Chain A
Amino acid sequence: MIALLFIPGVPLITAVLLLLFGRRIGKASAWLTVLALASTFFMTIALSDLVFAGNRIGFSWVWLSQASANWTLGLSVDGLSWVMLVVVTSIGTLIALYSIGYMHHDPRFSRFFAYLSLFCASMLGLVMADHFLLLYACWELVGLCSYLLISFWFEKSAAAEAGRKAFLTTRIGDTGMLLGILILFWSSGSLQLGNLAQVRQTLDPHVLTLISALLFFGAIGKSAQVPLHIWLPDAMEGPTPVSALIHAATMVAAGVYLVARTFPLFTPESLNLVLGIGLATHLFAATIALTMTDIKRVLAYSTISQLGLMMTALGLKAMPLALFHLCMHAFCKALLFLGAGSVIHGTHQQELEHLRGLRHFMPLTWITFLIAVLSLSGAPFLSGFWSKDAILLQAQHTMSWVFWSLVLGALLTATYLLRLYLRCFHGSPSSDAKHAHESPAIMTAPLVLLAIFAAGIGLVGSPWMHHLFFRIIGVHEMHEGIEIGMVALSAALVLGGFWLAWQVGFRRRQLLPASLRPIGQWLYQAAFHKYYVDEFYDKAILQPFYAATRAFSRFDQKVVDGAVNAAGSGTWRLGQWKERFDRLIVDRAVNGVATATRNLGLLPRLIQTGIVHPYLLMIVVAIVALAVGVIASQ
């Protein structure tokens, strides 16, 4: 179906148009982007009948060589990718709409929308890719767009630096993925994503483990999992709608989607790796989120933590649940970021200490933010509840220690989200808050729409709607009914989180007994400094790397080039020696022979007077002597 090309194609063409003629198009470029993204949304919806029927729609073309079938790239849509398409296009459209208000005064207005379209186009391509190569290509393009958007305000050095960090960190992960793809190609000969289940049959489990672990390494980079999570908080330097897009629908979702898409390749060993890293990320980031004082940074660490939760779900072999949570989280987090953007837009502040009591001044933002917070915290029957609840249930069935860790994680999540909420919207208004104004309608309308989704979209995965979501992605056996215990647990966790946030986060009570306070203080400091991971990387990796490059450069200058120059000057010196040898020995020998001959000639020269008489005398004497001799001999 060639029509599939339109889904990534329309935003792509929009991006190209805006890049080339953006300045001439001006403000209309925003509407062009919104239109393009909305049209992809409707195209996606139009595919729903085919997808619901369980079809796999595909379109492919020959890319590298006609001879080999290995390089037939293609786009395809099945349940899994369709769900992602819906998320990306809907959230993308809303964020584009919101950006019209948020970026209103920016001098590079149309450029922003060009990048935004390109970002969505590459993400759509990634989701629809039917071939590892195309997936990888879009994967990299997503990285590029994040780079361009994070460092959009490049006059700020911090923004430029953050963009570079994001690109390079994810690129480190990408090399792992590239290696995984290479191994897969040489061991199975096929890079099609459609037939991974058959590929799994033919491969050695160890090779599979290696491939899947390497692919997961790519996902670690993109989804900001623990060793490579450092780029995501810094990415907050970008415009807030970009943060919303990166955190909700596009960039970070790609990693989870990759694991979900290549799930057949994962072996129990590699899934344990996924589980370990996911769980570690979930808790690790949540503790940092508790201590952050910048509204966007709290959300950034919240994203890392929630991605960890998705990875945990994948590690528990619950791929559909992870995807479900991905979608729910996408709506909630998009809403949270757009709400935060609205706050920043209204107050020009993003430090929590300057924000208090905003609920009186920004009512719509307040309500929608509250909905998002509650939903993501897992308050019963909101969207976030359904997905988190399902993951907790899954954990309870498989590994109890994972379950209790996740309970702790859920408590932390509720605590930091409610802390953020309370400190932003409650209390006596700060001076900055008093000047705040509600954002224009073009920004609040997406908030309201997203709030509706954040509250209610989870129902598609609930027993009340017969797990429609899971049937779309091809899972038909789901646990029917609602476990009351789980609902109670969720409610308890939210309430517990609220209590903690209220007491510690908002009213600054010391709950710890005095004897434990130093430890608490120490832990707080560690978390506040993000466990010094950035500093550690700087010392352990970056500095040695730069030192190595300088060392290589010096080696090149001194040793390799030095050898060449030494050969050159050695030849020169050899020439000089040879010249000296010539001058002192060869030349002297020649001259010596000449001098000797000359000196020898001095003797006969005495006789050669040039006067005739001596010659004659000699002749006469000689004749006489001859005659005497002749006569004497007779």
Chain B
Amino acid sequence: MLLTSLLACPLLGMLLILVLPKSSVRWIRGVAVVATGAALLVGLKVLGQFQPALASMQFEERASWIPQLNISYYLGIDGLSLPMVLLTVLLGFLACLASFGITQRQKEYFALYLLLEVGMLGTFLALDLFLFYIFWEIVLVPMYFLIGIWGGGRREYSAFKFFVYTLAGSLAMLLGILALYLNTQTFDLVALSGKASQLGLGLQKVLFVAFFLAFAVKVPIFPFHTWLPDAHVDAPTPISVILAGVLLKMGGYGFFRIGYPLFPEGAQWFGSAMAVLGMINIVYGAFVAMAQTDFKRLVAYSSVSHMGFVLLGLASLTSEGLHGAMLQMFNHGIITGGMFLLVGVLYDRAHTRQLDAFGGLGARVPVYAGLLIFFSLATLGLPGLSGFVGEFMAFVGAFGVWRWQTMVSIIGVVIAAAYSLRVIQQVLLGPLNERWASMPDIGPREWITVAPLVVIILVIGIWPLTLLHLQDTSLQQFIAHVTR
């Protein structure tokens, strides 16, 4: 029942918020924090009871739901989903704290926010394709409103673009799911991966591409990425954190959970395209990020670049590459999440995100400066911080298989350094811009939201085994299954 209770925490919180009166903001916030905090605690309990040495699903829960169609409520967790679940509950909690800055319509906001968390957790926990699809789509609805109502700038446009784009991608997946069901008469993901060999190569290719489209929009993979900068820029800070930290991972996780295990031959057939797309993501995203003048847009494009490493690692199908891809997903959630929190801190004080409007803040807000430098360095992949480990392993894994793609991708590392240092330079260094002569330093609440991320970045950067040993067994089985 552990996994159901994990889902129940935010769900109950949402229901409770719905019955609370609109005016008792403090209660609403309290319930939201308690709900996400409880989810975090349950997540940690799962981590504590998780047995890394087992390759099979753990904490399985199965209940028949629509027996006529073989659909069941089937949850489970393994080394591939555990890091994602942990990421979700952690960022869910921190972004909830960061949501205290929301000043209007708090009741709706927190209710939708908790629903969003239910959807995300469900996506990572579901082992029934039908259930997976439902959770996958549930995520869209609160996200649409959260961007569209509480966002800034062209929020309606961005929210609409995000919704329609993702939905269009999901449509391909829905068709794929139907085709898959008609061929196998089951939605059970574990059973389906066992039946992978029954599908013909042609069907595998078609189905892989169908699922690929859905995941590609989410990851996002070039050229399906343009919803991302708009959505990130216009979303409120905590939602940007969730968007970058968790939502993008749903796409990557989809490859790990569905795309590759269900259609191994299709995936291998698609491997070279995947590597090339990863390369394009890395280099192209970095180039475009370099040219941005809006801080949030820059971070958004750097996400495109970083998610390219996931694709590169995935395409390699080597132990190092896949470890790197998984680690990169986790790291990117932590690092970019932190980066968005910091952008939010700056925006709250300055009400602008234009990089050239700042300058010389390093002496004015030393603690903030230290944090921004720290996260920028993590973004550019400095050894000793977690970003490096993921990128390096993705490179190591991919280099043996996709030579020139990896070589070109390495350019992205240099440009990453260039844009990260540009951020530091334009915001923190140089003479102080007198406009900000009285800017206050980072406050305690903001500190609390960022501090855990700092610790995690350091721990994984120095001792990556902490995370890697959780996923190692599952990944070895994954490789054995896909390359069989």
Contacts and interface: CB of A to CB of B under 8 A. Distances in A.
B227 interface: yes
B413 A175 contact: yes
B410 A186 contact: no
Nearest to B415: A549
A182 B406 contact: yes
A445 interface: no
Contacts of A154: 360, 362-363, 428-430
Contacts of A144: 377, 382
Given A64-B464, A160-B425, A549-B288, A178 B226 contact: no
A367 interface: no
A64 B164 contact: no
B291 interface: yes
A280 interface: no
Given A65-B319, A171-B417, A561-B226, A140 B431 contact: no
Contacts of B113: none
Given A553-B292, A561-B226, A175 B411 contact: yes
Q: Which of A19, A137, A168, A182 has the most CB of B within 10 A?
A: A182
A141 interface: yes
B319 A182 contact: no
Contacts of B411: 175
Interface stretch (B339-347, B349-357, B392-400): B392-400
B469 interface: yes
Interface in B280-312: 284, 287-288, 290-292
A155 B363 contact: yes
Nearest to A563: B223
B388 interface: yes
Contacts of B410: 175, 178-179
A252 B421 CA distance: 21
Contacts of A64: 320, 323, 389, 393, 464-465, 468
Nearest to A191: B396
Contacts of B383: 136-138, 140-141
Contacts of A63: 463-465
B414 interface: yes
B235 to A, nearest CB: 17
Contacts of A140: 382-383, 388
Contact of A141 (B226, B363, B384, B400): B384
A552 interface: yes
Q: Which of A154, A172, A556 has the most CB of B within 10 A?
A: A556
B429 A185 contact: no
A556 B226 contact: yes
Interface in B316-336: 319-320, 323
A157 B384 CA distance: 28
Contacts of B227: 564
B165 interface: yes
A141 B384 CA distance: 8
Contacts of A62: 465
A133 interface: yes
Contacts of A155: 360, 363, 429-432
A161 to B, nearest CB: 8
A549 B465 contact: no
B179 interface: no
Interface string B412-442: 0110011001100100111110000000000
A136 B388 CA distance: 11
A151 B363 CA distance: 13
A619 interface: no
A168 B226 contact: no
A560 interface: yes
B453 to A, nearest CB: 17
Contacts of A164: 421-422, 425
B386 to A, nearest CB: 13
A68 B362 contact: no
Contact of B291 (A137, A552, A563): A552
Contacts of B161: 564, 568
A67 interface: yes
Contacts of B396: 182, 185
Interface in B438-484: 463-465, 468-469, 472, 476
B273 interface: no
Contact of B382 (A141, A564, A568): A141
Contacts of A172: 414
A128 to B, nearest CB: 15
Interface string B221-249: 01101110000000000000000000000
Given A136-B383, A568-B161, A549 B464 contact: no
Interface residues of B, number: 56
Contacts of B468: 64-65
Given A182-B395, A568-B164, A137 B288 contact: no
B436 to A, nearest CB: 14
A563 B161 CA distance: 13
A545 to B, nearest CB: 8
A236 B291 CA distance: 29
A466 B353 CA distance: 66
Nearest to A111: B366
Contacts of B20: none
A177 to B, nearest CB: 10
B407 interface: yes
A19 B422 CA distance: 23
A560 B465 contact: no
A207 to B, nearest CB: 13
A624 interface: no
Q: Which of A66, A154, A172, A185 has the most CB of B within 10 A?
A: A154
Contacts of B425: 160-161, 164
A167 interface: yes
Contact of A65 (B165, B222, B323): B323
Nearest to B370: A19
B400 A186 contact: yes
Nearest to B472: A65
Nearest to B381: A140
Interface string A535-567: 000000000001011101100100011011000
Interface string A40-80: 00000000000000000000001111111000000000000
A167 B381 CA distance: 13
A144 B376 CA distance: 12
Contacts of B406: 182
Contacts of B464: 63-64
A502 B360 CA distance: 45
A66 B470 CA distance: 12
Nearest to B411: A175
A553 B291 contact: yes
A27 to B, nearest CB: 18
Nearest to B393: A64
B144 to A, nearest CB: 15
A133 B392 contact: yes
Given A65-B472, A144-B377, A164-B421, A549 B287 contact: yes
A191 B285 CA distance: 31
Given A160-B425, A564-B227, A568-B164, A168 B287 contact: no
B421 A167 contact: yes
Interface in B142-196: 161, 164-165
Nearest to A548: B287
B33 to A, nearest CB: 28
Given A164-B421, A560-B222, 12 more contacts: A62-B465, A64-B464, A65-B319, A68-B319, A137-B384, A155-B363, A155-B430, A172-B414, A179-B407, A182-B406, A546-B291, A553-B288
Interface of A: 19, 62-68, 133, 136-138, 140-141, 144, 147, 151, 154-155, 157, 160-161, 164, 167-168, 171-172, 175, 178-179, 182-183, 185-186, 546, 548-550, 552-553, 556, 560-561, 563-564, 568
- Lowest 8 CB-CB distances: which A-B pairs, in order? A137-B383, A160-B429, A553-B291, A549-B291, A561-B226, A549-B290, A154-B429, A552-B287
10 contacts: A19-B370, A63-B465, A64-B465, A66-B469, A66-B472, A67-B476, A141-B382, A164-B422, A172-B414, A546-B290
